[in-house]
Chain A
């Protein structure tokens, strides 16, 4: 009933349509991965800022001697004000400074005995743990986005648009032993 060429045309139209659907699905998925990276990054930034704030709060609490306060306040300030190139170093330094301060013998015991001590310690412990979580989640999102970006189709067709290739956030985030 239909000439052969119409069957051919219909077949190719179907192929092009399906390919279009597939490419669009891949693009959407990549976009979703990028959005996830951005969300995770925002969460990580928030966690880092919160940890720096907790360290500053402890430094300013008058629960500590001035030398300890100065070590903490300096590290927190550096972490908060570091530019993109130095951010990871500064945050690692803050982790190390926190460990050096909190892991002193009897530090936790002495602070718990003070009136505001337990609250400040709890905030510090929770914010340090959240930095570690947020960083894992962010790096996980980054690695998936990077794998997706490496796929042939995505490299051949400009599906990633102008979005920059996301980078890992590598720091020493071992929390202090509270």
Chain B
């Protein structure tokens, strides 16, 4: 199948949409399909062979923040030429409601078009003056995909119509192996190659480490529940440490821990992708104490890919991802005493941790990019069936 993918944001700038497109394109190429991606890119950017540049994106205020978008005569000319030369069986535009290449591609093409909606927002951005501009382009999309329930809800409420839900994939093998952070023993299951049965490693007498990753200043991520549980656990287990990573004020977090335990709470703050992976491999139990508001929990999926034994609150999304407790232990949401008790049991039971780790790695395969790409491919096949392919549309259509 010849697939043309349209990326609305600058390729080399880190972002969820760009990452999604890169992983999807590479998975599709892995299946043996022909993929071409058109994207805004800086002039000197080094692009993979399957990526075509549509020129530089321009910073412009849009909906209260400055976004880098590609629009105008030059961009739309390049999109038209790319569609003409690509002879695609299906065109896949991302974030088609943003004033960038996605919208331009909808405008410039006729034929089977799939649109993926990433963003979710509360307030409608579609108003009477912009509705007609969007409508004529969005009506050309034959199959719509939303990456999360929130994105789907946004689409239904603000643009009308419906979409199928295909969540973001996780590049599980990227997380599978990593050396623990310096000064952390790790679980001995990663690249360090050490044995997994360190004597007393996490037990009552020895050290052991709990991990958390997420926004530290967002109450719904539940860090406060974990900190209260650590007040109990830390006193019972003099060697136990807590590793925290994610955006937020580190000093403020440490000040919430009682003085005697502060030395055993390590706050990494914002971490690089590489250090994040190493952090997953540095702890004995990864805790996800979220109070709700998660549709899927990408952090949980990453930790599962890294094979971290998981202890998570029993909110619906986590219960589903963890197969009702089979791929990770669950505790009643918000209950710090239950969290402390469950974490203690896991720390004392290396065999159970090892078992959970293996189960998690197996369960997360359902969310791997190869599974997601297969679902996306089914959408392509659905819309492309019996159609002659993508052609350039008449001007102004």
Residues of chain A whose beta carbon lies under 8 Å from any beta carbon of chain B: 56, 59-60, 62, 64-71, 73-78, 89, 92-94, 96-97, 100-101, 104-107, 110
Contact = CB atoms under 8 A, between A and B. Distances in A.
B104 A66 contact: yes
Interface string B46-71: 00000000000011111110100111
B396 interface: yes
A78 B99 contact: no
A110 B60 contact: no
9 A-B pairs with least C-beta separation: A67-B71, A93-B61, A70-B99, A100-B60, A67-B99, A65-B76, A104-B72, A71-B99, A68-B71
A70 B58 CA distance: 14
Nearest to B58: A100
B245 to A, nearest CB: 34
Given A62-B396, A78-B64, A73 B72 contact: no
Contacts of B69: 67, 71
Interface stretch (B30-38, B131-139, B156-164): B131-139
A73 B125 CA distance: 11
Nearest to B59: A100
A171 B95 CA distance: 31
Interface in B103-129: 103-104, 106-107, 125, 127, 129
B100 interface: yes
Given A73-B129, A77-B130, A104-B73, A66 B60 contact: no
Contact of A110 (B61, B70, B73, B125): B73
Contacts of A68: 71-72, 99
B64 A67 contact: no
The main secondary structure of chain B at its interface with chain A is mixed
Nearest to B76: A65
Contact of B60 (A56, A73, A97): A97
Interface string B73-108: 111100000000000000000000001110110110
A75 B99 CA distance: 12
Nearest to B80: A65
Given A66-B133, A66-B136, A74 B76 contact: no
A76 B61 CA distance: 11
A96 to B, nearest CB: 5
A104 B74 contact: yes
A70 B104 contact: no
Contacts of B58: 100, 104
Given A62-B396, A67-B75, A77 B107 contact: no
B67 to A, nearest CB: 9
Interface residues of B, number: 33
A73 B74 contact: no
A65 B129 contact: no
Contacts of A71: 60, 62, 69, 71, 99
A66 B72 contact: no
Contacts of A66: 99, 103-104, 106-107, 133-134, 136-137
Contact of B62 (A60, A65, A75, A104): A75
A10 B210 CA distance: 94
A71 B104 CA distance: 12
Given A65-B104, A66-B104, A67-B99, A59 B61 contact: no
Contacts of A96: 60-61, 66
17 contacts: A59-B129, A59-B133, A60-B129, A66-B104, A66-B106, A67-B76, A67-B103, A68-B72, A69-B133, A71-B60, A71-B62, A74-B99, A92-B61, A94-B61, A101-B60, A106-B73, A107-B73
Contacts of A106: 73-74
A110 B206 CA distance: 73
A50 B130 CA distance: 18
B130 A65 contact: no
B69 to A, nearest CB: 7
Nearest to A96: B61
B72 A101 contact: yes
Nearest to B134: A70
Contact of A74 (B63, B103, B137, B396): B63
A70 B103 contact: yes
A107 B72 contact: yes
A91 to B, nearest CB: 11
A171 to B, nearest CB: 12
